[in-house]
Amino acid sequence: MDLLEKLDQLRARGLEKINAAADTQKLNDVRVELVGKKGALTEILHAMREVAPERRRQVGQLVNEVRDLFNEQLAQTRHDLAQALIAQKLEAEKIDVTLPGKRLSLGAKHPVYLILDDLEALFIGLGYQVVQGPEIETDHYCFEMMNLPKDHPARDMQETFYIDNENLLRSQTSGDQARVLEKHDFSQGPLKMVGPGKVYRRDDDDATHSHQFMQMEGLVVDRNVSMSDLKGTLEMIAKHLFGADRKTRLRPSYFPFTEPSVEMDVSCFNCDGKGCSICKETGWIEVLGAGMVHPNVLENAGIDASIYGGFAFGLGLDRFAILKYGVDDIRDFYTNDVRFLAQFRQEEK
């Protein structure tokens, strides 16, 4: 067959193939077949040797024309395929922005942590540092440094889980006092700290007893700290938590690490002091223990108790949460029933 005729046929067939390529992979195959190094056009060029010299020019020109046409058409189809792919993707990933979104349900802060965070912020505002002692504490810090030597009868006040002779699950956060006292440099200013954290006791769990709960220890040591400083601080805590109208009273008490020791009551917020089941008809609710730091506690930490003195307090955060939120079973705090916890979800801001 005449080469010109062959070229005409190739042109028609080639364009058809290019147009029929359904994706870029197939289009590339067609490209190799038509204009590739071993493609149909190259084959025709090789055949040029057999063309009479006076016709070579004409055939050569046509080969170039066909190659240009193919390349043009290949580029066009490649472009069209890419566009179609984008259109297809856009269609598949179409988002209807008018549809209502999926509502993420927010978790709720644990009620005890609501109290903890609130108090922490209060004390930080007053210049207290926040410390965290270890939950596995030593007998040394938990008791001995706190004026509770090994045979001290007041150790019975706290049913402690011992791990071995020296290590225990702390039954109070008071050991944090000793740890901070040992390190504090009074040339840098007074010591003011709170130490929140979990404590553990050998108690049979029921609605009002728990083997674990949350305390917050407080300690202020400086020169000339008086009982009225303690009283003012405790009143501030009570009013902050339970409302400015609450009356408070201090009762004498006993703790080995304070002398004198006190317990504070607030007037019952349910009956306002008249007497009800919550305050057991007394009109008062006990909320915390406190006192003036015992000189032995200071001396144990190497602090001269004739120069420095202070006050300390221990807050039961679960108890605060029970009182503040009217929780009637302390076990709800650690059994993690989401229906209980969800009640403390705060309004979205």
Write the DSSP symbol of residue 39: S
Q: How far is the CB of 99 from ligand DAH (least distance, A)?
A: 55
Q: Which is nearer to ligand DAH, 70 or 313 (CB)?
A: 313
Q: Which is nearer to ligand DAH, 3 or 191 (CB)?
A: 191
Q: How far is the CB of 142 from ligand DAH (least distance, A)?
A: 9
Contacts to ligand DAH by CB under 6 A = 172, 174, 217, 255, 258, 289-291, 312-314
CB-closest chain residue to ligand DAH: 314
Cα gap 207→76, rounded to integer Å? 79
Q: Which is nearer to ligand DAH, 133 or 291 (CB)?
A: 291
Q: Which is nearer to ligand DAH, 111 or 195 (CB)?
A: 195
Q: Which is nearer to ligand DAH, 77 or 261 (CB)?
A: 261
Q: How far is the CB of 307 from ligand DAH (least distance, A)?
A: 20
Which burial class, exposed, middle or buried, applies to 199 when counting CB atoms under 10 A from its CB (0-12, 13-18, 19+)? buried
Strand partners, 162: 168
Q: How far is the CB of 155 from ligand DAH (least distance, A)?
A: 12
Cα gap 52→43, rounded to integer Å? 17
Q: How far is the CB of 157 from ligand DAH (least distance, A)?
A: 7
Q: Which is nearer to ligand DAH, 77 or 258 (CB)?
A: 258
Question: Which residues fall within 8 angstroms of residue 84, CB to CB, at 6 or more apart?
Answer: none
Q: How far is the CB of 328 from ligand DAH (least distance, A)?
A: 23
The 8 Å CB, 24+ separation contacts for 117-126 are: 118/240, 118/241, 119/194, 119/196, 119/216, 119/237, 119/240, 119/241, 119/315, 119/317, 120/194, 120/196, 122/237, 122/240, 123/192, 123/194, 123/218, 126/192
Radius of gyration over every alpha carbon of the chain, rounded to an integer in angstroms: 42
Q: How far is the CB of 152 from ligand DAH (least distance, A)?
A: 14
Backbone angles phi, psi at 327, to 5 degrees: -80, 135
Strands 212-222 and 309-316 come out as: antiparallel
Cα gap 35→11, rounded to integer Å? 11
Q: Tokens in use for 331?
A: 């076990």
Helix (H) or strand (E) holding 319: helix 317-325
Q: How far is the CB of 211 from ligand DAH (least distance, A)?
A: 14
Q: Which is nearer to ligand DAH, 77 or 233 (CB)?
A: 233
Q: Which is nearer to ligand DAH, 174 or 210 (CB)?
A: 174
**Cβ–Cβ < 8 Å for 226, 150:** no
Q: Which is nearer to ligand DAH, 33 or 259 (CB)?
A: 259
The dihedral built from the CA positions of residue 189, 311, 234 and 154, taken in this order, carries a sign that is positive
Q: How far is the CB of 312 from ligand DAH (least distance, A)?
A: 4
Cα gap 7→11, rounded to integer Å? 6
